[in-house]
Structures are given as C-alpha cells and as structure tokens.
C-alpha cells in the first residue's frame, strides 16, 4: 500500500513521501534495478522568491550534491539540492534545496527569446551543457547550449540543419522538429569525449508522431566535445503509446525524454514517457546499445532499411504500484554500500496544481564493464 508522510512548513515546505518503502519486490522483474522509495516537493513550494517546479533534468555533482534544472522559460534556473538517503531509502527529509542560480547570457540579463531548458549534464573542464528545446515556431532552434560554472552562456553546439523546421508553424511543415518535441535529453560519455542528445519525437520528414497504435522512429545525435563537430546519428524506435484514445492530448507528453551514457561504446539508459486520458502517465526505462546501428547522419530522411539502436526494457514503472507523474529527468549518483549506483528520476510538474514534483530512487547495478566505465575519475580533463 502506498503511504505518505508530509514534512512541516519549518523545512521550506518541502514534503517527502516514502512511497513503497520496504517493497523492493515491486521491481523484482527488473534485473539490476532495486526501488529505493520516493519523495515529493509540493507544487507551490517556494524558495528564495522562486516556485520550485518544472524540474526536467538532473545532474550529480559528487557526494550528496545534485543539480536540478527548471524549464521555466521566463526565469530559467538551476537548483542546488542535497540528497540524503536514510538507511538507503529515499523518503521524508531526503531532499533539501540549498540554492538557486539563473542561466544568463554572456553579458548578463535575460535570454531573448527565452530558453526552454530540458536537460543538464556536467562536462569536462567544468563546462555545463543544457538541452534547450527551443521555441522553433518563433524561430528559436532546438540546440545544446554551453555554460560556465557560473551558469553564464558560452555558446552552443550547432544544431543539425535537418532539425530546422521549414515553416512558421513547424507542426504543419514537412521538415524539422515537431512543435514542443525538440531536444529533451542529454548525455555525456564517461570519458568526457562525446555528447548525445535526441529529439523527443520523430522529425517531420522521418515519419509520423508516435501515438496510440502508432509506432515511430526518432534520432539520437552526437557531438565530439573537443572539436564541437557533429558525429554519428542513430535511429531510435519508439513503441506505440499505451491507450486507446487517438486525441491530441494523447500525444502531449509522448516520447524519449531522458538519456544516460553507461560506457564509452554506445551503451545507454533511456527514459520514455507518455500520457493519455485513458491510461494516465506511462513511464519505462530501457537499456539501449548503438553497436551495429546504422549511422544516418548523412540522411536527411531516415532510410527504411536503417538498422536502429537495440532496446531492452528494464522496467515499466507502473509495476512500482505508485501514482506516476510527468517523469522527465534522470541521473546516476554515488555508489551505494551494496555496490549499486544510485539512479534518480524526477518529474516536471508543469507548475500545475494537480501535478507534483516526484523523485524516484533506485539502486542500479551495471555489469563489471559498465561499472569501470562509470567511474567519474576516468573522465577526461582539459
């Protein structure tokens, strides 16, 4: 049974929820994953003049220090927070917000047009990379932005020309990203040499949008971080969205929203989520491998015979037995006493009263080869 324990206002009105505590059996069908509980921040909670919400991406800074990026385009910001497990469980009192910092242009002030930051990753040399989904229908492209340690902009990685829309309303055009389905994820390989990102849904020229009874293919894009040059691209298959209602709302939150690089050879964790009126939120974790996949970087339209990345479902989060939300961000954290790595997920509450900011924690046990690749001490330094 799900149970919740709410913290008082004395702790910045942060409320934790020990959901499914003591029930790792809920993920027994997920090899290498052990559910460690959940915690919530109530919608409307404020910190230093900001509303904590829209958390779309996570990054681990070391020890118990983490970052969470908010996709509030009017005030793009990053929260520093401390995560403390209690007897290796996530619950009430585990999350403490420590600071808030703004993303700013190089000269200060605010971004015009605004950003739509959806993911964050820490790179070599202290650089911070942010996936900006953009406002493509306003001429603001989806791109990967680069920030220094003070969160001041230092440029961006050139977006592939094939993702640029050909019309004012890119959902009605024939090429480029669909409206609100640009770069949603970001991952840097453990050696610090390559960055990967992905569009949430298929490019218009690559096929239909995924939906109930409709599968599709999106793309993984890569960059060489030393040169900034674009690298290989791969087709990523998206399964049909669970549900039976072919309504626009059924596709409002469907697609690939999170990536984590597990090694330097093309191994990833991928997070997919969708929403339909009939089923609510569906969230699944996959093990992904690019080995053997076709490099489609030279193809404006995905070839029908392109070999996609390999996918294996690790966990359908519905099996946790808790009410899910709009899960979008994930990051790997420190090693636990069990030898597992801490895997943390967070939901974007869209600043809506009926939604909440939900953190989910897992113990993740990679194989020996992956474990060596995940050692942060092996990352390349400039």
pLDDT-based confidence at residue 246 (cuts at 50, 70, 90):
low
Question: What are 2-50's pLDDT values in tens digits?
Answer: 222 222 222 223 333 333 333 333 444 477 899 999 999 999 999 999 9
Distance CA 219, CA 237 (A): 8
What is the distance, to the nearest Å, from the Cα of residue 271 to the centroid of all Cα atoms in its chain? 7
Q: Which whole number is the average pLDDT over 328-334?
A: 97
Query: What's 211's DSSP letter?
Result: B
Q: Which whole number is the average pLDDT over 243-253?
A: 53
Q: Which whole number is the average pLDDT over 88-109?
A: 94
Query: Is pLDDT of 209 > 60?
Result: yes
Lowest mean per-residue pLDDT among 21-25, 239-243, 261-265: 21-25
Contact present, 103 and 130 (Cβ < 8 Å): yes
Distance CA 201, CA 334 (A): 31
Q: What are the b/e assignments for 65-98, b being 16+ CB within 10 Å?
A: ebbbbbbbbebbbbbebebebeeebbbbbbbebe
Query: Is pLDDT of 83 > 80?
Result: yes
Q: Listing from the earlier edge strand, what are the strands of the sheet with 341-347?
A: 33-41, 357-364, 341-347, 327-335
Structurally, how many domains does the chain consist of? 1
- Whether 3 maps to a domain, the answer reads no
More confident residue, 225 or 13: 225
Q: Supply the mean pLDDT for the chain.
A: 85
Query: Is pLDDT of 188 > 90?
Result: yes
Alpha helices in the chain (DSSP H): 368-373
Lowest mean per-residue pLDDT among 130-134, 137-141, 157-161: 137-141
CATH number reported for the structural domain that contains residue 253 in this entry: 2.115.10
pLDDT of 7: 26
pLDDT of 4: 25
Tokens coding 310: 């390999």
Q: Which whole number is the average pLDDT over 353-360?
A: 95
Distances (CA, A) of 341 to 35, 106, 124, 244, 337: 12, 36, 21, 37, 9
Domain that includes residue 233, residue range: 9-378
Q: Which of 10-14, 124-128, 239-243 has the highest mean pLDDT?
A: 124-128
Nearest to 370 by CA among 343, 341, 344: 341
- Whether 2 maps to a domain, the answer reads no
Lowest mean per-residue pLDDT among 23-27, 170-174, 208-212, 220-224: 23-27
Q: Which whole number is the average pLDDT over 66-75?
A: 96
Residue 346: phi and psi, rounded to 5, are -140, 150
- Whether 1 maps to a domain, the answer reads no
pLDDT of 171: 55
Query: Is pLDDT of 328 > 80?
Result: yes
Residue 298: phi and psi, rounded to 5, are -90, 5
Distance CA 159, CA 136 (A): 12
- Whether 4 maps to a domain, the answer reads no
Nearest to 83 by CA among 71, 92, 72: 92
- Whether 147 maps to a domain, the answer reads yes
In which element (H, E) is residue 276 found?
Answer: strand 267-276
pLDDT of 167: 59
> Which region, left, alpha or beta, applies to residue 185 given φ > 0 means left and ψ of -120 to 50 means alpha?
beta
pLDDT of 249: 46
- Whether 211 maps to a domain, the answer reads yes
Distance CA 1, CA 3 (A): 6
Distance CA 232, CA 308 (A): 13
């Amino acid at each position: 049974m799900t149970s919740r324990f709410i913290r008082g206002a004395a702790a910045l009105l942060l409320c934790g929820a020990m959901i499914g505590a003591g029930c790792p059996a809920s993920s027994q069908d997920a090899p290498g994953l052990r559910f460690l509980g959940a915690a919530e921040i109530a919608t409307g909670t404020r910190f230093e003049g900001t509303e904590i919400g829209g958390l779309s991406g996570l990054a681990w800074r070391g020890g118990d220090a983490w970052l969470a990026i908010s996709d509030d385009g009017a005030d793009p910001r990053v929260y520093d927070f401390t995560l403390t497990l209690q007897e290796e469980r996530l619950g009430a009192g585990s999350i403490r917000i420590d600071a808030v910092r703004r993303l700013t242009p190089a000269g200060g002030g605010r971004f015009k047009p605004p950003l739509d930051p959806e993911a964050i990753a820490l790179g070599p040399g202290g650089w911070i990379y942010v996936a900006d989904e953009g406002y493509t229908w306003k001429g603001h492209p989806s791109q990967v932005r680069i920030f220094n340690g003070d969160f001041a902009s230092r440029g961006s990685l050139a977006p592939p020309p094939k993702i640029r829309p050909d019309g004012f309303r890119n959902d009605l055009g024939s090429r480029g990203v669909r409206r609100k389905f640009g770069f949603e994820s970001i991952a840097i390989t453990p050696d610090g040499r390559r960055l990967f990102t992905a569009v949430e849904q298929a490019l218009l020229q690559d096929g239909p949008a995924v939906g109930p009874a409709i599968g599709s293919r999106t793309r993984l894009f890569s960059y060489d971080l030393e040169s900034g040059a674009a690298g290989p691209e791969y087709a990523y298959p998206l399964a049909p969205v669970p549900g039976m209602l072919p309504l626009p709302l059924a596709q409002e939150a469907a697609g690939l929203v999170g990536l984590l690089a597990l090694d330097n050879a093309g191994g990833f964790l991928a997070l997919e989520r969708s929403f339909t009126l009939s089923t609510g939120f569906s969230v699944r974790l996959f093990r992904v491998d690019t080995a053997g996949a076709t490099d489609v970087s030279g193809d404006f339209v995905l070839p029908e015979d392109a070999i996609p990345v390999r996918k294996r479902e690790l966990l359908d989060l519905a099996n946790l037995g808790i009410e899910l939300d709009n899960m979008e961000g994930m990051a790997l954290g420190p090693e636990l006493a069990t030898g597992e790595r801490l895997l943390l997920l967070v939901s974007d509450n869209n600043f809506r009263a009926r939604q909440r900011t939900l953190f989910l924690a897992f113990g993740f046990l990679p194989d020996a080869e992956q474990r060596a690749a995940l050692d942060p001490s092996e990352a390349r330094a400039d």
